[in-house]
Amino acid sequence: MMTTGAVDLEKKKKVVFVTVGTTCFDALVKSVDSRHVRNELKKRGYTNLLIQMGRGSYIPRKSTMQSCGEDESLVVDYFTFSPSIADYMRSASLIISHAGSGSIFETLRLRKPLIVVVNEDLMDNHQSELAEELADRKHLFCASPQTLGQTIETMDLDSLLPFQSGDGLPVAKLINKFLGFPAE
């Protein structure tokens, strides 16, 4: 049975969801797990931190409701994979993601605030191009594992612009035109 206090906490729950997809991105998980980043998240009013750590080997420190009673730190939990992280994304107030295009666009479609963290250890890091372009267009924030805390501290969520989804229609039009099919 929930006490009144616990019910209030449930209502005011603001979840930060961290995802690395199917990759191994220990640098991000470590950064999110650091005292500095946890503090910054707490200062911005987030209550829960859920980390999807994929193939990573670094294990974050769990922190449950009971253990954070008096000092009021973040509630932290983690898991490796899930068949569909859509539900976790939907119930999150902030998403911190690796720079995979699938994760990025899934988050933008859900209209959630997004911080994309580029994995600098990857060879041929073309992923940063997409993250930087979308950050330039103010659809998300971009950070490195080192600058994540600072980004959380200074980010202005109101400055984010919604992303208009595209579709394959321009491509279909050009293909039809090239093949000599009549236009719709």
Partner 1 sequence: MEGFHSQDSVTILIGFVVSIVVIRLAYVLYWSGRPLRTLSQRVSTLIVLGSGGHTAEMLSIVNVLEKDRFVPRFYIAAGTDNMSLQKARVLEESLIQKEEIGNKKDIEKIACFEQIYRSREVGQSYLTSIYTTLVAILHALWLMLKFRPEVIICNGPGTCIPICLVAFIFKVVGIRWSSIFYIESIARVKRLSLSGLLLYKLHLADQFYVQWPQLQRKYQRAHYVGCLM
Interacting stretch for partner 1, rule CB under 8 A, among 5-13, 34-42, 50-58, 170-178? 170-178
Long-range contacts of 98-104 (CB under 8 A, 24+ apart): 98/19, 98/20, 98/21, 98/23, 98/25, 98/28, 98/127, 99/127, 99/128, 99/130, 99/131, 100/21, 100/23, 100/127, 101/127, 101/130, 102/21, 103/19, 103/21, 104/130, 104/131, 104/134, 104/140
Q: Residue type for 60, please?
A: P
Give the C-alpha separation, 95 to 25, whole Å.
15
Binding segment for partner 1 among 11-19, 31-39, 77-85, 175-183 (CB under 8 A)? 175-183
Q: Is 55 in the site for partner 1 (CB under 8 A)?
A: no
Q: Does 125 bind partner 1 (CB under 8 A)?
A: no
Can residue 172 be called a binding residue for partner 1 (CB under 8 A)?
yes
82 binds partner 1 (CB under 8 A): no
DSSP, collapsed to helix, strand or coil, labels residue 36 as: helix
Using CB under 8 A as the binding criterion, the count of chain residues that bind partner 1 stands at 26
Q: Please report how close the Cβ of residue 20 comes to partner 1 at its closest, in angstroms.
A: 14
* Contacts (CB under 8 A) with partner 1, residues 31-50: none
Contact status: 175 vs partner 1 (CB under 8 A) = yes
Q: Which of residues 129-168 bind partner 1 (CB under 8 A)?
A: 129-130, 132-133, 165-168
The footprint of partner 1 (CB under 8 A) covers: 100-102, 105, 126-127, 129-130, 132-133, 165-172, 174-181
